[in-house]
Structure formats: C-alpha cells, structure tokens
A and B are shown apart, each in its own frame.
Chain A
Amino acid sequence: MEDLIGEPLDRVDGPLKVSGRAPYAYEQKLPAAVYGVMAMSSIAKGRITSIDTRGAERVPGVLWVMTHLNAPRLAGEDVNKPDNQNRVIQTLQDGEIHYSNQPIAVAVAETLVAAEEAAFLIKVRYASAKPSVSLQSSMPSLYTPAQAHNNNPAITNRGNAQTGLNAGTARVQNEYYTPFETHNPMEPHATIAVWNGPESLILYDSTQGVFSDRDRVASLLGLKPENVLVISPYLGGGFGSKGPVWSHVVLAAMAARHVKRPVKLAVERPQMFGAVGVRSSTHQTIAAAASADGALTALRNDTISHTSTFDQFVESASLPTRMLYACPNNSTSQKLVRSDIGTPSFMRAPGEATGVNALEIALDELAYELKMDPIALRLKNYAEKDPETNLPWSSKSLRECYRMGADKFGWEKRPKEPRSVRDGNMLAGWGMATAEYPTRRSASTAKAIMHADGKLEVDAGTQDLGTGTYTVMTQVAAQTMGLPVSRVRFRLGDTRYPNTPVSGGSQTAASTGSAVQFATSALREKLAGMAIADKQSPLSGATMGDIAFENGRIFIKSSPSRGETLQALLARHQLPSVETTATSQPGLEKKAFSMYAFGAQFAEVRVDADLGEVHVSRMLGVFAAGRILNAKTARSQLIGGMVWGASMALFEQNLYDERLGRIVNNNLAEYHVPANLDIPHIEALWVDEVDHRVNPLGVKGIGEIGITGAAAAIANAIFHATGKRVRDLPITPDKLIV
C-alpha cells in the first residue's frame, strides 16, 4: 500500500464547505437564539461620564442593553490580569476607556437588525484624555520586559557587538519600521453562548484553541472547566487573532445568562480593528558589519514594539537576529512602550515575520556594500549550529533551499547593478530573503475507535483553521491503520474530545498529528493482540511483528491469505467498537537540539519608474519543513503565507489618527489586502527533509514560515529595480516617487 502521508488529498471537508453546509460558529442553528451587537468606544483614553440607553431600549425587539452600569460583576475579575497565556479583556466592569474600539455596551434583541439599531442609538459622553499611540509620544513609558516571546530573554549579548562593528570593512546601520496591522480572517470572531442552567455553559466559538478557550472563560466566569463546553467545528481563518479569549466571548456569555436565551454575537469588521489584537508596529535598529570576504563581524537588533497600557505582549522581532547567521558578536534587545491601544497579539509568525523582514533587508544592504551576491553572503555566514544556544540543529536544509530556489528562479541571470533593467516605463528587479520559523509542539491526546463496520473514527479536540487539519489527520490515521481514507473519519473542535493544544505556533500537525499516530498505532496493536489471542482467528498465535494491516484486513505479512477483516474480528468478539487513547508529548529533543524550519524566498517586481506603482510579477518560495503531510494543503498554506508577505510589503497598515488614537481605515475598502490582480503566479516548493528528532511524525509545521522573508524579498527586489531603499513598510507609491 502506498504512503498516504504526503499525498495531495483533497480536503475531506471541501464538499461541505463549497456547498455551504459546513456550519461555522455563528451559523449553528439554535431556534431560541437572540442577537447581541457590541457598541464600541469612540475615544482612546478616558472614561464614560454618562451612557444613555433609553433610545436603544425603545427599539422594538430589544431585550436588554448591557453597559458598565448594569453588567453583572465578573466572578473571575481577579484573574483578568496580565499573564503569559491570556489577554486582559474588557467586560463592562467599569467605565474606563483604554483604547478606541473598546466594547462599552452590548445590545441584545430578537433580531440582528434591532440589535444593530439599538447599539447605534446608545448615547455616550466621555471625559477624554489625550491618547498616545505613536512611538514618539509613547517613549516616556519605554521599558524592558522580563522576557521576549516564547520565554526567550529580552536582551542578549555574545561576543562584543561594538568591537565587531568597528572591525568590519563594510557596515550598515539603519532604522526599519513595520506598521501596526490587523488580522482580517474572512470569518470575523463570532460566538454563540448557551446556558444550560446557572453553572453550565456551551460556547459555539470561532477559536484556535477549544481547551484554552474553555479554561479561560470558565475562570473568568467562575465556572468549573468541566461545566463549559466549547464547540468549534470550522473556522474561516484565525491567523493568531483567535488564539486568546477576547472580550466579546465573555460578553456573549454574560448577556445570554441575563436574557436566559442563547446569544449570538459576531465581532463586526470595523470592530476587528483594535478589540481583538493587532500586530504591533516594530521599530528595529539593525547594525551589521562584515569583513571584505563577507564574514559577519557583528549583528545588532534593537527592537521597540508597543503594548497596551493594561497588558503586555512583545512583538519579538529581535529573535531572528540571534539565530539566523553565524556571527561571533551579537547583541539584541527587545523593549516596549505603552500606548493607548488594544493589546497587540499573535499574528502569523509573531516576531519572525517582522524580525526576519528587517534583518533580511539589512543583509541585502550589506551585500550591496560588499558588492557580493546576496545568496553568497548568506552562505558565507551559514550557521552550522544554532549560534545563540550552541545546540546542533535537529535538521537544516537551508543550503538546499537556496540552491533549488536560485536554480528555479534563474537567480544567476540577475544583473548585479540596481536599476539596470528597464522595459518602457517599468523597472524590473529581483530580490531574495531567507525564511525561518521555530518548530514547536505540545502535549496532545487523541482517541482512535474502530467500529464494528470496519470504519475508523479518530477524535481530538483540536481545530481546523481552514488549514487542513481534518484532512491531514485523516491521512495519518488512515495510513497508520492501513485503511483507505474513505473509511476514516476525524472529528475535532469539541472539548468533549481528548485534550489538545491551541492551534498556534505552527504546532498542530506536529502535536496532534503525533497524537493521532500514537492513538491509531495503539489501536492497531490492540486489534492485533485480540486476533493473536483469539483461537478462532486465522492470526491466532502469530507474533506482533508479523502482522500487517491493509485495506481493512489484518494478516500475516509472509502469508497474506492468512488473515481476516477487522469487521470479522470485532463481530466474533461481539464488540460494537474497540478504542484506545494516547498522548504524545515533547521529550528531551528541545534540550538537545535547536529546531527550525527554513526557507528561501525570491521575488520579481516591476515598478513604474514615474508613478511608483509596484507590481509583483513572480514569487518563489522553497522551504525545508520536515515531512509534508499533504502536498496540496501544504502548498496552499505556504502560498497563503507568501501572499500575506506581499501584503505586508505593499499594502497593510492600520492608519492611526494620532490626535484621536483611532484607526481610521477600519474596513476592507481602506485597509488594503491584496486583490487577485496583485498576486502573480506563486510557486511554493519544498526540499525533502527527514527529521525524526523534532517529533514522531517528523513534521516541522508550515503555518507560518511562508510569510517570513516574503516581504523582505519584495522590498529587496524593489531596491534592485529602482535603486531606492525603502525601510518602512508598506512600500506604497508615495514612498517611491520622492
């Protein structure tokens, strides 16, 4: 039987999705449900002095208007504090305003239209204070957090960066800026809260972590976790924003409890901008120096990002500078300023997307200083082990990525001089950058059930963000049990299934994939054991190692006719099903190895020489990310990341009115993401990489690496085309015509 793992299997949930029959959180049919609509603050700092809900309450069909004046006290308000796992949320416990677009009320009505109208009619007066959202105005609050992202230190030093900088014959030192960005999954955040009595809650929630959602909501509401059920069968994207629990989830539960009806609450598109996490802007000062042969003598990255006034999140852009290149003298720092904004949060490749961008533009600049090919410079400084931890890589195939990428892209044909290819009004240019993303996993559990009809069911709480979890887990289970995928059903998105981690940090395939493999393997052994011990079985007395599973049959390898079907085995034992549960958890690999996926990004752009419009005409990414579970969904994920990289390079930014502290472009007409015409043919390829150190399945995760380096490759291509270096994203026409 050929290996199903890696096959470009169509999404098993595809037919449901394209026919509109996959019920997303907000679409769950609950006849008694009513609608909640949030009203948001229109100031960024201050407090509510009066809130008049009379007009709202007069709207026909309105059941309740919840404000800070009548909202129930939150039993778990004492845990609504900064910690490493969760966000501090705003649940109408007071009239203080910490950021614009903060929830200040929820109108609940029989219809969505009535709830919308009621929310609109709430009249609020504020005592407003002058907000600070810019780096400059927020600088007095500058501080160094205890840690950067993922328990990394905030400040690192090895060797002596200053000595190294002085020693280099070529040197670049510049400020790089990435803007605030807002996640815009196609499906905005949405929750339906249903109370089953005073102490028992069901949440249909669009979440990246059903268990973390359950536990956090339970602690905030003072419930036992086992009395909260979270169901999340489908997501229309998450990108990090649906990792933490945000205010609307708890507000929906509070409202539902009061009106004694299920409450449906969706975060409307304009409300997405600020209330449910943003990517913080980063201000990165990077210095790099090298000797004449290109060997790096020093690398520095000093990053400042923003957090809110009431919570802490570190956009850890300095991390890639620590590990990506061999360099004896390295110094990085990660600082924060406090601003009057909703707390920044995880956005696809947090820290890496922003940090790789600036570092890889700086390396490109250094290559030009050295008159050296950008790939040659990177190969010259290729890190054979992790320079920060001194640990060996679990595997690293970056050299192969550069080689294959350069070959496929035709890199050697690239003229060295910038602004040297012109076609009419258009300047053409090529650029490249390195990609990297850490490999992570967490403990995860799955349950495998063989039913009497010979069909395998595997359950795990996990989530499918639209990435293909349903499909790849089906493949892993089918392959392990020797069944066609048509006889395997994988269920997820439900806290009644075994415990799994949040789908973040590109860890679902590694963590839950390994758990599915363990559980299915264990079930296989259990079934084999039953047959071996069964005198009536053709396999009676066989040894475990001689037994094979294929196409629903269990048989002796050396004598395939000696066997029986799984149905026959279960029928004889009069069992409706046989099941096993197994947990996979990280071992000692993290202590022994440094684990990353790597890649090489290439871009070709055409820039209008006079008008500054940039057209990306080609993108190629070559990645080394361990085992690929499904060639089709993997390609989609990698391409999706690269598209977002193009978006980061050219389009996305929250535009703040700094006087008001408000994001003025909080809609998809003015917050630009790419349209079809903006995205060229994209190729995402990967090199074969076998890595059994990272986890039993050997996967490194591909959810995030695609965005890393993609924006830098485009920025570098724009420099190559125009001779103009733009260090602040996005690169809009106005920045190229000056």
Chain B
Amino acid sequence: MRPFSYTRPDSVDAAVHAYAENSPEVRYIGGGTNLIDLMKMGVERPAHLIDINRLPLTGIEEHEGGLRIGALVRNTECASHELVRTRYPILSQAILAGASGQLRNMATMGGNLLQSTRCYYFYDPSYRECNMRAPGSGCSAKLGVNRIHAILGASEACIATNPSDMSVALAVLNAKINVRGPKGDRVIPILEFHRLPGATPHITTNLHPGELITSIDLPPMDFGTRSCYLKVRDRRSYAFALVSVAAILSMDTGGPMREARLALGGVALKPWRAQRSEQALAGKKASAEIFQHAADLAVEGAKPYKDNAFKVELARRAVLRALTTVSA
C-alpha cells in the first residue's frame, strides 16, 4: 500500500476543502469496506485520505413526508431502523441481502452508493486490460471470464456490473442523493447517479470531483408494503447477485396496478430500471400473462457474453417471481 496522509475534519465544508487542497490523489473514507480492499490490491493508490466519520452526517429523520438518511448511517443501522422497516421495507431487505454482518456494520449508506464493480479484471491491477481502471487499455472481461458480467447497458469498452443491492432498492424508491461540493449543494436523482460505461467506463457516477454525499432522501410513498427484493446468488449469504429484482406495485388486492416500479441488479453497471415493463404493467390487473410480458420486456435488448447467457433467462424468471410475490 502506498503511504498516505490522513486527516479527520469535523465539518463537511472542511472535508470538501481538504479534498480540493489535495486533489487529485485524494479519497474520502467512510466505512472503508471497499476502499481499503482496493488500496490493498493497488487499484486505489491515494496519497491522502480524508476520514469523514466525524462529520455530522448521521441519523435518520422524517423529511418532507419521507425520510432523510445521513450518508454516514451504517447499513445495519438503516436496515434495522423502525421507520425504514415499516415504510420502506424493500430497502431493509436489499441491504440485508448484501455483504455480511461485519461489513454492514461498517459500510455507510453513502459509501454503498459508490461500491466498485467486482469485475475480476478491474479488481487486480496485474491484469493489463481494464478500461475502467486504466482508460484505453481494453476490456479483458469481454472475451475472458464473464459469468458475473452485464447483459444490459454494457459497451464495447466495459461490461462490468454494479454490485450494490442497496442501490437497486433506492432505484425503485426514486431516492435523491444530496451532495455538497466546492460549488455548493445539489441533488442527484438516483437514476442519474450511476452511469453506464459508454466510452468512459472509468467515470462510474455523475458526482463531480470532490463532491461528498451528505444524505439520501426517500420521497413519501403510498405503496404500502407491496414490495420485494429478490436476490438470486450462488450462495445464500456473502455473495453478489447473479441477478436481483426490486419490485413495487401500487394496487389493491384484485384491483388494477396503479403504478409499478421494477429495477434489476447484477445485470448492468447501474441499477437497471425496467421502465418498459413498468409501463406495460400500469393500469393492468395482475395476471400471469402480464407478468410474463413484463418479464420479457425487462430483458429486452439483453446482450449476453460467453459465460453469462443464463442471466437473461434467470433475470426473466426472477422478475416473474418478484411480481408474482408482490401481487399475491
């Protein structure tokens, strides 16, 4: 690991200032569950770390009819919070489906949004080709081992996936990400937070350099608890999703679906909102046929690679299962 300097500011402004001062070889560190890994592997080699754990970004509170969750709230705290569990159970489910108890106790909400891909070729700098890690070097995964890679939204430059479970739930909750940077505060809707790889896979979010996530807002939701987070994986805990589905239906039993929200994880470099499926479901009564149709639409345009063709069928089945479960 490269030696680094370390500061632990007490205010958000001081943190943002310290970042600007030390840019570009600088990183914020929260729970460190991903960054430390990447530093050990030599993927990240910052010269300066700004520890944000003393910043007043903790706590979960009522906000404009919904909830505001501090960026430093630990994943475990969020998942077990009474208001989250009762109003947004899908977020609790998604968080608890990820990582392990130890990791969730350390990982922060803001940090989870910034998790790096688990692409093997990204995670180990001894692989020469990775456009995400070393722009312009190529993509090893395209012709390499790509069982865990993207089937949607990938590009010639990169076929990695985003591994976060939490972000998939946030995607259907229409969460808003509050950030502060050198130029002040702004709000980024969750669907605009992560980027598809395109020609610039090394830029994975729309955060500007030095911007710090301060909190996550969950808008009010009248969906009740008709939601589910379904994660399909190779082992029952501490495994990233092969595919996952977050589904919310606004409906009364037997009645039509007023609104449907559906997102897939493990299939793209961002949480993948299946908007065509959502449109197909809206206004319809729940039925096996319409769910099947929605499931087909969810994987429309999917492009599998050598090892991950199964994901297309698995994603379809997972959507079907999630919708069936939520509507029951």
Contacts and interface: CB of A to CB of B under 8 A. Distances in A.
B198 interface: no
Contacts of B238: 669, 675
Given A675-B236, A733-B242, A737-B314, A113 B1 contact: yes
Interface string B101-142: 000000000000000001011011011100000000000100
Interface in A641-686: 650-651, 655-657, 659-660, 662, 664-667, 669-670, 672, 674-678
Interface stretch (A86-94, A570-578, A606-614): A606-614
A138 interface: no
A612 B314 contact: yes
B42 A672 contact: no
Interface stretch (B54-62, B212-220, B257-265, B316-324): B316-324
B6 interface: no
A116 interface: yes
B3 interface: yes
Interface of A: 40, 42, 113, 116-117, 120, 270, 425, 610-613, 615, 650-651, 655-657, 659-660, 662, 664-667, 669-670, 672, 674-678, 732-734, 737-738
A738 B144 CA distance: 22
B251 to A, nearest CB: 22
B233 A613 contact: yes
Interface string B220-245: 00000000000011111111101000
Given A677-B235, A733-B232, 9 more contacts: A117-B2, A610-B317, A655-B120, A660-B127, A666-B124, A669-B238, A672-B234, A672-B235, A677-B237
A616 B178 CA distance: 43
Given A615-B236, A670-B120, A734 B140 contact: no
Contacts of B242: 733-734
B138 to A, nearest CB: 12
Contact of A651 (B2, B235, B240): B235
Contacts of B143: 659
Interface string B299-325: 000000000001001100110110000
A181 to B, nearest CB: 15
Contact of B235 (A425, A674, A737): A674
19 contacts: A117-B1, A117-B3, A120-B42, A611-B317, A651-B235, A657-B145, A659-B144, A660-B127, A664-B120, A675-B236, A677-B235, A677-B236, A678-B235, A678-B236, A733-B233, A733-B242, A733-B310, A734-B242, A738-B313
Contacts of A113: 1, 3
Contacts of B118: 669-670
A651 B144 contact: no
B239 A672 contact: yes
B17 interface: no
B147 interface: yes
A611 B235 contact: no
Contact of B234 (A270, A677, A733): A733
B145 A664 contact: yes
A657 B144 contact: yes
A40 B140 CA distance: 19
Contacts of B318: 611
Contacts of B140: 657, 660
Contacts of A650: 234-235
Contacts of A657: 120, 140, 144-145
Contact of B321 (A610, A615, A667, A669): A610
B215 to A, nearest CB: 29
Contacts of A660: 127, 140, 144
Given A425-B321, A670-B118, A737-B317, A42 B127 contact: yes
B313 to A, nearest CB: 6
B132 to A, nearest CB: 15
A134 to B, nearest CB: 12
Contacts of B123: 667
Given A117-B1, A657-B144, A738-B310, A651 B317 contact: no
Contacts of B128: 42
Nearest to A41: B126
A241 B190 CA distance: 47
Contacts of A674: 235
A655 B147 contact: yes
A132 to B, nearest CB: 16
A650 B234 CA distance: 8
Contact of A611 (B100, B237, B314): B314
Contacts of A611: 232, 314, 317-318, 321
B237 A732 contact: no
A675 B97 CA distance: 13
Contact of A675 (B1, B237, B310, B320): B237
Contacts of A120: 1, 42
Contacts of A675: 100, 235-239
A667 B123 CA distance: 10
A678 B234 CA distance: 10
A117 B123 CA distance: 17
Given A113-B1, A664-B121, A664-B145, A734 B310 contact: yes
Contacts of A738: 310, 313
B234 A651 contact: yes
A263 to B, nearest CB: 20
Contacts of A670: 118, 120, 148
Q: 8 tightest A-B contacts by CB?
A: A734-B310, A664-B120, A42-B126, A677-B236, A675-B237, A657-B144, A677-B237, A610-B317
Nearest to B40: A116
Contacts of B235: 650-651, 672, 674-675, 677-678
B124 A270 contact: yes
A480 to B, nearest CB: 45
A40 B126 CA distance: 9
A276 B121 CA distance: 22
B1 to A, nearest CB: 6
Interface string B17-42: 00000000000000000000000001
Contacts of A672: 234-235, 239
A611 B313 CA distance: 9
B1 A116 contact: yes
B103 to A, nearest CB: 10
A693 B304 CA distance: 60
Contacts of A662: 127
A613 B236 CA distance: 9
B318 to A, nearest CB: 6
Nearest to A676: B237
A728 to B, nearest CB: 14
Contact of B310 (A664, A676, A737): A737
A723 B238 CA distance: 29
